[in-house]
Structure 1
Amino acid sequence: MSTPWPYPRWIAHRGAGKLAPENTLAAFRLGASHGYRAFECDVKLSADGVPFLLHDATLQRTTPEEGVAGDRRWSELSRLDAGGWHSRAYAGEPLPTLEGIARYCLRNGFALNIEIKPTPGHNDVTGRVVAEHAAALWADAPVKPLLSSFQPDALAAARAARPELPRALLLDSLRDGWLAEALALDCVAIVANHRVLEAGVIAQAHGRGLHVLSYTVNEPADADRLLEAGIDGLITDAVDRFSPA
């Protein structure tokens, strides 16, 4: 590849996958305890524009509340229990802000892949605000966070706001024009479902200057196949089974 790749090959999904409540500081700490130095998380906006970590558009799967998370102000979201759904040991674990996770990663020298996860209908503003916050938080860091999204318009808004931050197009399938789309967004990488990646696809992306990451790689056979094919990054839930070394 023509561009140096500054990120570790192994990346802990949503902090520590399924071993701790996803997208919480507790999950990041658990992933770090298994030796991981790169993490992935999902970021969306509260009603008053605070970037915070949550995967779903709604609250009911990972908190005691219901409804659209992005409809609530941060002062309310910050009081929710985002850990008790997972296990009693994590009861009371709060939703973290992007700022809180950034400070944890920066203090420890960890890399971060921020998936821009807009509330439906808020793609542009989420891409812009997340990029602006990320640029400010990592202003003095030698390695910037990788911004990724399934939503091309969110990535376009991030590029318009902070073109210096690296971007990656997320792909669940290799739709027609995927490569041209990633290049048009000035992406440095694609992040694709492991089921659609094989050596020819990886070589095709590499040939156009793109790095290739894969999610969510939890089985040794899938990891071995992708490593043999030249994958640049593996996002995994199985932080207790795959050594990042």
Structure 2
Amino acid sequence: MPCWPRPEVIAHRCGGALAPENTLAGLAIAARLGCRAVEFDVMLARDGVPVLIHDETLDRCASVAGRVVDLDGAQLMATDVGARFHAAFVGETIPGLDAALQRCRQLGLAANLEIKPAAGHEVATGRAVGRQLASLGPAGRPALLLSSFSAEALEAAAAEVDDIPRGWLAPAFSAGALDTATRLGCVSLHLAVEGLEAAHVAAARAVGLRVLVYTVNDPADARRLAGWGVSGVFTDRPDLLLDAIR
């Protein structure tokens, strides 16, 4: 299994708070800042096309309403999600997974692809993401880490493409989270910063798991976590954290 490059600072949802989330504009900003990696969310459109979006509805990020699973990929990829963020991003639309992967390769960005299935679509989403990545082959995709809060989605993706490392997302540290990450063959455990302790990081590392932490926006927190042996942090403020822990 290829080694995830373990960058210390990972731009959350492509560009963090500096661009419309989960967009190509965010990828460009992350690269311009000097990030080596980004994180983004992937959900399925009604016709099975994987697109970058976090919520199950368009309500928060777009100027139109609707459920992602009720719209085809072409409709979603024509939806403006830039204007709601700032006038400078008018016309920025939801990207398809193919476009995001291609842009990451062009910019030299590794990517943590979070499989974010709508409720009831866990297996279908994991399978579709896995098949798309398998069709590209190692030479056609950037360095990737697959993660999810859904074991079913991760397992379905792994059944289609088994040469991409995986990470287990958990809301908090627990023995169960360690067991699930190990059972799924993960290389990393992704934990919330709230409530995280040095002992939790040590316990994960003791069983061979790297620890990635979300969402860390305070440079002091980032430095503390680095001292605990955390492999990386997801942040909305890569502009603040990059200089803090380099």
- TM-score when scaled to structure 1? 0.94
In structure 2, what is the equivalent of residue 121 of structure 1?
120
In structure 1, what is the equivalent of residue 205 of structure 2?
206
CA-CA distance at 1:107 after TM superposition: 1.8
Q: Name whichever of 28-37 and 157-166 sits farther off.
A: 157-166
Higher helix residue share = 2
Amino acid at match of 1:165: I
Identity among equivalent pairs (%):
42
Aligned ranges for residues 43-54 of structure 1 at < 5 Å? 43-54=42-53
In structure 2, what is the equivalent of residue 83 of structure 1?
82
- CA displacement, residues 7-54 of structure 1 (integer Å, 9 cap, x when unaligned): 312111111111110000011111111111200000011111111100
- Distance in 2 (alpha carbons) for counterparts of 1:196 and 1:155: 25
Partner of 1:125, secondary structure, is helix
CA-CA distance at 1:188 after TM superposition: 0.7
Amino acid at match of 1:152: A
- Distance in 1 (alpha carbons) for counterparts of 2:92 and 2:72: 18
Amino acid at match of 1:156: E
Q: Is contact 2:115-2:153 (8 Å) kept?
A: yes
CA-CA distance at 1:165 after TM superposition: 1.5
In structure 2, what is the equivalent of residue 73 of structure 1?
72
In structure 2, what is the equivalent of residue 238 of structure 1?
237
Number of aligned residue pairs: 243
In structure 1, what is the equivalent of residue 36 of structure 2?
37
Please tell me the root mean square deviation across aligned C-alpha atoms, in Å.
1.7
CA-CA distance at 1:196 after TM superposition: 3.2
- CA displacement, residues 189-228 of structure 1 (integer Å, 9 cap, x when unaligned): 0111012322211111111111110011101221121011
- Distance in 2 (alpha carbons) for counterparts of 1:187 and 1:116: 14
Partner of 2:18, secondary structure, is coil
Does the C-alpha gap of structure 1 residues 187 and 104 become closer, same or farther in structure 2, counting only changes over 3 Å?
same
Q: Is contact 1:131-1:165 (8 Å) kept?
A: no
Partner of 2:241, secondary structure, is coil
CA-CA distance at 1:134 after TM superposition: 2.1
Segments of structure 1 that go 5 or more residues without pairing to the other structure are none
Q: Is contact 2:172-2:196 (8 Å) kept?
A: no
- Distance in 1 (alpha carbons) for counterparts of 2:44 and 2:109: 23
Partner of 1:213, secondary structure, is strand
Q: Name whichever of 193-202 and 210-219 sits farther off.
A: 193-202
In structure 2, what is the equivalent of residue 229 of structure 1?
228
Segments of structure 2 that go 5 or more residues without pairing to the other structure are none
